[in-house]
Amino acid sequence: MPPLPPITQALLLINVALFCIDEALGHVLSYWLALWPLESTQFYPWQVVTYGFMHGSFTHLFFNMMGIWMFGAELERVWGAKRYSQFMLASIFTAALTQLLMSQLNGWMNPTVGISGGLFGLLLAFGMMFPNRIIVPLIPPIPMKAKYFVALFGGLELLFGVTGTQAGVAHFAHLGGMLGGWLMIRYWRGQPPFPPKRRGGSPPGGRTH
């Protein structure tokens, strides 16, 4: 296996380290770094980014890190460290904004943690960059093309979010992460809603094939 690229490696190490520190300190870090609703007295501006580096359980951490390893490493090799970092931040940030909006509309007061918004952005990007790549998800363990995998999981997140299935899971934040990733790729390519790029060279962010 090729070595992990630097940003993916850093994300894995930082998330694991913060989880262990937070557990050892009795979740003190989560109090300050989790994303709290705007109506809460615990909300601070930095939480729109820091929540993505906190996790509520080992299972939550494990599956998110596995997803970052599976999809993020290959995308970083294609994009490079700078563009990959920008993409992750955009997905995490738009996921946070989506969750804050939904919390405001529905009166939710629970904090949000996890890099799942960034991971769902990566899933969308992987499906756009490698639509015909065959992958085998854990659930269901059925080989499928990446574009169908992304469509399936995106549809399920929308269904679960609207119906309130799986309470305690930030489904709309996941969709927000996908939206942020989609917008970032459209921006790189100079596609609406962004102005076109100047001619001369292929548009950044790759192309669908």
**pLDDT tens for each residue of 149-189:** 888 878 877 777 666 555 567 888 999 999 999 999 999 99
The mean pLDDT of the chain is 88
Judge whether 185 and 205 are in contact, CB under 8 Å: yes
Return the domain boundaries, the chain. Answer: 6-189
Q: Tell me: pLDDT of 203 over 90.
A: no
Question: Which parts of the chain fold into alpha helices (H)?
Answer: 6-24, 28-33, 47-50, 58-67, 73-79, 81-106, 116-129, 146-163, 171-189
**pTM over the 0.85 mark:** yes
| pLDDT, average across residues 24-28 | 93
Position 36 scores a pLDDT of 96
Q: Give the integer Cα–Cα distance in Å for 119 and 178.
A: 8
Position 168 scores a pLDDT of 65
Q: Tell me: pLDDT of 208 over 60.
A: no
Torsion sign over Cα 185, 187, 193, 198: negative
Position 206 scores a pLDDT of 54
Q: Which CATH superfamily is domain 6-189 in?
A: Rhomboid-like (1.20.1540.10)
22 phi/psi in degrees, rounded to 5:
-65, -40
Q: Give the integer Cα–Cα distance in Å for 33 and 184.
A: 25
Position 209 scores a pLDDT of 34
Q: Tell me: pLDDT of 140 over 80.
A: no
Residue 24 buriedness (CB in 10 A; 0-12 / 13-18 / 19+): exposed
27 phi/psi in degrees, rounded to 5:
65, 30
102 phi/psi in degrees, rounded to 5:
-65, -35
| pLDDT, average across residues 56-70 | 91
